[in-house]
Chain A
Amino acid sequence: QKEVEQNSGPLSVPEGAIASLNCTYSDRGSQSFFWYRQYSGKSPELIMSIYSNGDKEDGRFTAQLNKASQYVSLLIRDSQPSDSATYLCAVISRYSTLTFGKGTMLLVSP
């Protein structure tokens, strides 16, 4: 079983729509969760971190965590073409190892 799973996509949404990116993880003892954005040819950039169950909002981004379901998601409101990138879910397990999912490619069309 893969430790952090994401749908590879691409996820295509029109400009102005809500993009919903999902991630599941296998280690129930995980405590820290992150979303990174990676543009083609660039290194990952931290968008959000979340540690507690529930929602965490930052501008157009909302991270959602459900530890019982081992599920973390990222919502992007009012999607813009500049949001087109690969979004990486990352989880720190109980062993303090940061594990990345393979990423979901998001395409926002004008």
Chain B
Amino acid sequence: GAVVSQHPSRVICKSGTSVKIECRSLDFQATTMFWYRQFPKQSLMLMATSNEGSKATYEQGVEKDKFLINHASLTLSTLTVTSAHPEDSSFYICSARSTRTREETQYFGPGTRLLVL
């Protein structure tokens, strides 16, 4: 159990285009999903916390108008990188927290590698 998927796993796009990344909890419901970014040889950086049915909470320094997050259901959250630029190239990872138990374990998706040319 506790499987989280992401789609796509890898995307290459031109500068100025928008890219949508999907994060799904496959076998559990998640009221809260998280979006992280990781640059090469650096630690995970939390970008935003996404709660089902409400606006996402962004970490300091993360532009909410550039990184649009939608958490429309208990199993799906999307991150849209708008007007992507080469500096947005990174490894984007989502995680989901189960509503099923009292534990607050986060389960990670496999990540999406974004390359902006």
Contacts and interface: CB of A to CB of B under 8 A. Distances in A.
Contacts of B108: 36, 43-46
Nearest to A32: B104
A96 interface: yes
A106 to B, nearest CB: 15
A44 B93 contact: yes
Given A43-B93, A43-B111, A34 B105 contact: yes
A46 B105 contact: yes
Contacts of B110: 42-43
Interface in B34-49: 34, 43-44, 46
Interface in B83-99: 91, 93
B103 interface: yes
The 5 closest A-B pairs by CB, nearest first: A43-B111, A102-B43, A43-B108, A43-B93, A44-B108
A105 B110 CA distance: 20
Interface residues of B, number: 15
A101 B34 contact: no
Contacts of A34: 105-106
Interface of A: 32, 34, 36, 41-46, 49, 51, 88, 90, 92, 96, 98, 100-103
A43 B43 CA distance: 11
A49 B103 CA distance: 9
Interface string B15-40: 00000000000000000001000000
Given A43-B109, A46-B106, A103-B43, 9 more contacts: A34-B105, A41-B91, A42-B110, A43-B91, A43-B110, A88-B44, A92-B104, A98-B104, A98-B106
